[in-house]
Chain A
Amino acid sequence: MEPSNKILDKFDFVVFAAITLLTAIGMAAVYSATYTHPTAYGNFNKQLISGIIAFILFFVAYLIPYKTYRFIAAPVYVISLLSLLAVIFIGKTVYGSKSWVSFGPIGFQPSEFAKIGLILFLAYYLTRKRKNPNNFYDLFIISVITLIPVALILMQPDMGTAIVYVIISLIMVFWSGVDLFLFFLLISPVVVVFASLFGLATFLICMILVIALLVYFKKNVFVNASIIVLNISAAYLMDYGINFLKPHQQKRIETFINPLADPLGAGYNIMQTKVAIGSGGIWGKGFLHGNQTQLRFIPEQWTDFIFCVIGEEFGFVGSILTIALFIVLFFKLVNIATHTKNIFGSTVVVGILALMFTHFAINIGMNIGVAPVIGLPLPFLSFGGSSLIVNMILIGIALNFYKNRREQI
């Protein structure tokens, strides 16, 4: 392919348009959820300022030489760990967890920024010469790289973000060429356990899927049998494992499976959220006219439940548009990752994709009642400066690699 000087070749306007539109929808939703609220009033202005900073940093991330990222990967990771450590000592407690560090009037969440460090450093480690993710020593090192920040985040405690870190790491390892059977071995028990929460039917479907994949991998009978036993026992041990969770976490799992069991307690949010979205209908109740939203039936709606505002006030049309923008963004990121010759860049882009897709899937999933309630913001839409800025920077980095996709390291 001939290098082109056309701007379209250097800058992916589709991605840019998608994130700009998503941010705009987010701004409208945050405005709607907070403008009459006694304490959250003013959040819209904060979000607007964060948005401006985020766009500036997006362009900074887009414009700096792409090779810089490889050089700064290790230092950024170390700084990330230090900032996570700092949170534990000087962090501010908000809603029962310490995840904030303040500098004067400006506060930020290191766990958001540390995602950049993790993605860069993992990509760096996975793409060094003679590194092989199928090598158990290397896998061990990758686990350590992942689990240090995970441990620090669990101390805050922030279960949701910790899960995201693990998933990012798994997907990057997957992309970097880990043996698919090995990967399958790691993932299948988790999936089976999760499915078993929903009863026998889902569990059996998953087991059939596992067996189908075993047929595909053509391993010997002994290996196949042990994997099936492993999966079944994992599901069986789940009941036992649940006892190690804190009561409120157990409750969340129960509530996810059956929200009606506790309509005024843990199930309250799920029910109100579904009611908000369902009552939006095709066209929605109109901007600022959602009664669930305006009458504050969903606590802290501007953060993790921002999608309800869209569902209620803009209806099916608004919800589908939002989802479509995300899907376009994700397909674009997959393409960028595939077409970037720079394997470090490609792995970073997959990390970014993994991060955003996980947030997207879990957040919208919990809003519409198909995933458990795990407190994660929806990228570009949820209120929160740290999250918006980090996501913008990450897209800036992804587009930077797109611009330089034909370059090898």
Chain B
Amino acid sequence: MSEKIFGSRLRKNIFMIVIAFVGMTFTFQLIKMQILEHTTYTTQSDNNSIKKKPLQAPRGIFFDRNLDVLVSNKPTYNLQITPAVYDTIHSSTIEAIINEERGTINKIFEKNKIYSKYLPRIIKRDLNYNNVVWFEEHSENLKGVEIIVEMQRDYSYGVKGSHIFGYLREINSVQLEKEKNLYDLGDFIGISGIERSYENLLRGSKGYEFILVDSRRKTIGRYLEGNNDIQPVKGKDLVLTIDKKAQQIAEAEFEGLSGSLVAIEPSTGEILAYVSAPEYDLESFAAFTSREQINKLSSDPKKPLFDRAANSIYPPGSTYKMLGAIIGLEENLIDINSTVYCRGGFQFGNRFFKCHGNHGSISVIPAIEKSCNTFFYKLILDIGLDRWARYLKMFGFGEKTGFDLGAETKGIVPNTEYYDRAFGKNKWTKGTLISLGIGQGEFSVTTLQLAQYAALLANSGRTKTPHVLQGYIEGIKNIDYNIEYKDKIANISQRTFDIVREGMFKVVNGYGTARHIKLPNINIAGKTGTSQNPHGEDHALFIAFAPYENPKIAVAVIVENVGFGGTHAAPIAQKVIKAYLENIEGNNFTISSAK
């Protein structure tokens, strides 16, 4: 090698190349990091140092139709723990203080371990005052443990309404994954009833406070002086169609019973009262809902969580009879004067179908009044199955009403196809039809459908989809948004309605099966029913509307396993009617002498 030992050009150049190479490597890396990948790193940096603290939006509250409060919110103290900064050494002490089983905290952590450790977990809601004080006193030593004030539902307004209001529960991970932008871990979401149906109106929108935190998640200050904070927007307050007084009376009347009641404003479809008994205590769902609580309710043999008004089906019994009359009249099979001779029943082939009396020669109005089976046994044979089914659909049977509380059952309206499927083609006879004539057999309805049917009778074939939401109030601007509901029309002549309604009037005000519920100054029209129950005592049914001259309320009541409808269901309807009509503004139904 012919190079000069010191200061050799080659060695100098090697130095220069190495220096230039390192300088260029650094430059490229900086271009990559600071220019090309700048956004990614900025996001990471912001996530690092800015803690997004959700601000709960108060849920909208519920008013009744007179703007009386039904459900509101109250503050509650909740215990939350952030796993990343929390020392589990404190767990057993904390569990003892909040009166929870050992291992509860760990269980909650485990359940949500897919979420960031920096996300606080709610450990217990609705702490009592002593607990709050204890945590405040020990806050210095309990890193990551916080007491936060949140709102929870307040049900202390004297209305149970469990199946109307529904309940809330902490969002589960499946829903959370689906609606990440709307909810955070530990948020409540409506699970049933109005809370579920109108979740999107009720939840409002969450606010967020941006807080600067250091690498140990210690708060340093507000991010940009709070200028970027997002204020929470309260959920919309709902005005329900429910009448608080009628609802309260209905609930009280069902104390100790199983069954359901639905009362509807006939012209609008507004649900005035809605009871499914037994109810459950919503208060027990307001705070942290434990698995045991839910399990206990769902395994209760009385099924309090089950909404009987929309989901239980019963044969309508004699409450069906107006429909039979309507079909007969509309199809000109009978007229107001046509009579049938009742000698305690109806002989068809070699079977005798019983009536509950010897009504003699009877026409349509007294047949409704006295609930004569014979008249309707004969009539259904003339109507025929498929014609019959067509009219039933017109009155909303065999299909969902589409009401806004959600889940409901269609009920059963049998037709030829149905019987062919059930019994086999040509395996059923006209005799099978006969029991349909008095609302027994396969024909099954829900209380809700019966109430809609009563509303159609009351309002001469015009009503709207039953609903509990009248409108909502947006923020503090006090604007009501009225909601349009679909019309429900039964295309029947006024004369036909007049005839069956007269029959219903006489059920209460003549010599009918519900004359004992007659009120001195409100004319109630109704129809009793008793639905045979193969499993035990009959179910008592009653449908009614009032006042007869200008109906403002239509009611359907079913009381399970008590027997005769006139005895057990009619008085409940009467009390609800009275409670509601007395309460209507500007009316003069001042009644005090109801039986």
Q: Chain A: residues with CB nearer than 8 A to chain B?
A: 174-177, 179-180, 272, 274-282, 291-292, 294-297, 311, 315-316, 319-320, 323-324, 326-327, 330-331, 334, 337-340, 343, 346-347, 353, 357, 360-361, 364-365, 368-370
Contact = CB atoms under 8 A, between A and B. Distances in A.
Contacts of B350: none
B347 interface: no
A339 B9 CA distance: 11
B256 interface: no
Given A275-B45, A279-B42, A291-B46, 16 more contacts: A176-B6, A177-B5, A180-B1, A274-B41, A277-B41, A278-B34, A278-B37, A279-B38, A282-B34, A291-B48, A295-B220, A296-B214, A316-B31, A316-B35, A334-B15, A346-B6
B41 A279 contact: yes
B19 interface: yes
A142 to B, nearest CB: 15
A274 B6 contact: no
Contacts of A365: 22, 26
B33 interface: yes
Contacts of A331: 16, 19
Contacts of B25: 370
Interface residues of B, number: 40
Max chain A C-beta neighbours (<10 A), residue from B27, B29, B34, B35: B34
Shortest 9 CB-CB distances between A and B: which pairs?
Answer: A278-B41, A177-B5, A279-B45, A316-B34, A278-B33, A279-B41, A291-B49, A295-B214, A279-B42
A347 B33 CA distance: 37
Interface string B199-229: 0000000000000111100001000000000
A278 B49 contact: no
Interface string B233-248: 0000000000000000
For chain A, what secondary structure do more than half of its interface residues adopt (helix, strand, loop), or is it mixed? helix
Given A291-B212, A334-B12, A346-B6, A368 B26 contact: yes
A296 B33 contact: no
Contacts of B44: 275, 278-279
Most buried by A among B15, B19, B41: B15
A138 to B, nearest CB: 13
B19 A330 contact: yes
Contacts of A353: 15
A135 to B, nearest CB: 13
Interface string B21-62: 011011101110111011011101110111000000000000
Given A277-B33, A319-B34, A357 B19 contact: yes
Nearest to B4: A177
23 contacts: A176-B5, A176-B6, A177-B5, A277-B30, A278-B34, A278-B38, A278-B41, A278-B42, A278-B45, A291-B46, A291-B50, A291-B212, A295-B212, A297-B214, A315-B34, A316-B31, A316-B34, A319-B34, A323-B27, A337-B7, A357-B19, A365-B22, A369-B33
A175 B6 contact: yes
Contacts of A278: 33-34, 37-38, 40-42, 44-45
A281 B6 contact: no
Contacts of A370: 25-26, 29
Contact of A323 (B23, B33, B42): B23
B7 A323 contact: no
Nearest to A343: B6
Contacts of B213: 295
A277 B34 contact: yes
A281 B12 CA distance: 35
B11 interface: yes
B217 to A, nearest CB: 10
Contacts of B284: none
A179 B1 contact: yes
Given A338-B7, A370-B25, A292 B49 contact: yes
B564 to A, nearest CB: 73
A370 B25 CA distance: 9
